[in-house]
Amino acid sequence: MITVDRIRIHAPPERIFSVARDVEQWPRILAHYRWVRFLEHAPSGGGIVEMAAWRPFGVLRYPTWWVSRMTIDARELTISYTHIRGITRGMDVHWSLAPHNGATDVSIEHRWSGPAWPGGGAFASAVVGPVFIHGIASRTLRGIKQAAEGGGRRE
């Protein structure tokens, strides 16, 4: 399963990177995040991070939870995660930022072979990627855009 979400943000890459890497603040700026907490800090600013979010379905909200190893590359302005606990264990996530005509194109790519049960790959491709991953990542990008462009509304 490969899921890619993209957005153009009218802010410098460094500002977007600063907002995106400050994951402990995400519940304050992203209404769909329940909590984010570091279990271990790395000198680079990354580490082991526990995240929980809601996946809205109209008026219903489905709780999601995972633990990732977060890696930050401040020179390249990239953020990567490898999910190490939760149903998405083994998922690789990569944030990239690319300047574009005074704005910044931001993408989040998720790669995962699916849970380790028969049909897990098909389940990941048909349900987890398009329904859960895209549903959360697209909201995350809209909220990061709002915060980086200076708005106060939570997405």
Q: 51 in helix, strand or coil?
A: strand
Domain 2-148: give its CATH architecture: 2-Layer Sandwich (3.30)
52-92 pLDDT, tens digit each? 999 988 888 999 999 999 999 999 999 999 999 999 999 99
Q: What local confidence, expressed as pLDDT, does residue 116 receive? A: 87
H or E, element range at 10: none
Q: Residues for the chain: how many in total?
A: 155
How many helices and strands in the chain, by DSSP H and E?
4, 7
Mean pLDDT of 11-27: 97
Would the pLDDT of 152 be above 80? no
Q: Structural domain boundaries of the chain?
A: 2-148
Q: What local confidence, expressed as pLDDT, does residue 22 receive? A: 96
Q: State the chain's mean pLDDT as an integer.
A: 94
Using a cut of 0.85, tell me whether the model's pTM lies above it. yes
Q: 């219903």: which residue's tokens?
A: 60
